[in-house]
Amino acid sequence: MKEYELKYGCNPNQKPASVDIEEGDLPFTVLNGRAGYINLLDALNAWQLVKELKEATGMAAAASFKHVSPAGAAIGLPLDDTMKKIYFCEDTELSPIACAYIRARGADRMSSYGDFAALSEECDETTARFLSKEVSDGVIAPSYSEKALEILRAKRKGTYLVLRMDANYTPKAMESKEVYGVRFHQQRNDVKIDESLLQNIVSENKELPEAARRDLLIAMITAKYTQSNSVVYAKDGQAIGIGAGQQSRIHCTRMAGNKADIWHLRQHPKVLNLPFKEKIRRADRDNAIDVYISDEWEDLLREGSWQEVFTEKPEVLTAEEKKAWLASVRGVSLASDAFFPFGDNIERARKSGVSYIVEAGGSVRDDHVIDTCNRYGIVLIFNGVRLFHH
């Protein structure tokens, strides 16, 4: 198939809309549902991300995309009991690709609501069953087991979008797009992200453990497919905080850091033991956790509100308790898609437990950034590569 007619473009009034390819056939096959413009933007960007994650780490990889940026990305490391609890998948046998998607989806469940999923491996029954319970627009994978396809075809009254990607497809070296009647051409961003980009350690602390190397690769590859400016925090084989599309880099660092903080606070005993009603909807549960952790907790715990989601009124997670919990966090990795212009980014990052940073370098204030890292014993790497994505 060389051309595919879409439901509409970015918005319902933008009709007609289609995608096509100059040479050969489109690299994807629609197995179920009908694709929209944004669906395919998410799917094709997400596929590139998981393909690169698998190549860089040798492990199954998954991504959860919303509005052409990842809400989460991860590799298929096993989940411990705490992770299973915060991702609501206890008492379930999980395959590596299921672990990868559960991590990617669970990193920022508020942003992943209504996502497009990408899998580097065949979608198996376990992953399909997890997807079937979530609010999601579609999935792209190189193949599907017979049972997985049966499960997914039944989702959303049979309209769930299922795409099979040609894993051997290689696009042309040059790419183009049109804006306001003007056509742009550039070489695809085919820079290879691997451990060769982690050699130039410019900080006094040069200890870079294997887990940090892995997480820095995950953070860099995730940033490569995140709308710029972007900053990504990663830990334990997954992105835990993504700041996307901000004009100021410090705002990216704050946004991503706030999301990373929420990920860590979800592991606090008070959050793990929230007394939810048995049949609460998943979206209501996720929203309640988000509000409970936030400074707006009174909106949730006031009389008449907490009864809607809890069997009994939970204790407040105080500001002092949150501060103490986050103060114990260490070993977080961070990647920026361009250089940090000032040390304020480092100051914010270290408050979220960042111990390892990789960025392009090349700022006139590099010396200040290096000095700030040295003050806190943070490992800083200049990779010399800018990863803007627009």
* Helix-, strand-, coil-residue percentages of the chain, each rounded to 5: 40, 20, 40
Number of helices (H), then strands (E), in the chain: 14, 15
Distance of CA 221 to the CA centre of its chain: 10
Alpha-carbon separation of residue 141 from 96, 101, 121, 152 (angstroms): 14, 12, 6, 12
On the 0-12 / 13-18 / 19+ scale of CB atoms within 10 A, 222 is buried
Helix (H, G, I), strand (E, B) or coil at 241: strand
**CB–CB of 317/293 below 8 Å?**
yes
Of 32, 39, 45, 66, the active-site residue reads 66
What is the phi/psi pair of residue 31, to 5°? -95, -20
SS3 206: coil
Catalytic residue among 67, 84, 313, 351: 67
Give, to the nearest 10 degrees, the angle between helix 125-133 and helix 96-106.
Answer: 20
Please tell me the distance from the alpha carbon of residue 214 to that of residue 236, in angstroms, as a whole number. 9
Query: Longest C-alpha distance within the chain, in Å?
Result: 63
Report the DSSP beta bridge partners of residue 186.
175
Query: How many whole angstroms separate alpha carbon 168 and alpha carbon 253?
Result: 36
Gyration radius of the chain's alpha carbons: 21
Q: Is 66 a catalytic residue?
A: yes
User: What residues contact 277, with CB distance under 8 A and at least 6 apart?
Assistant: 309, 310, 311
Give me the catalytic one of 32, 229, 345, 383. Answer: 229
Which of these is catalytic: 157, 185, 279, 390?
Answer: 390
Alpha carbon distances (Å) from 237 to 90, 96, 124, 127: 19, 12, 21, 18
Q: Is 174 helix (H, G, I), strand (E, B) or coil?
A: strand
Would you call 205 a catalytic residue per the annotation? no
Active-site residue list: 66-67, 229, 390
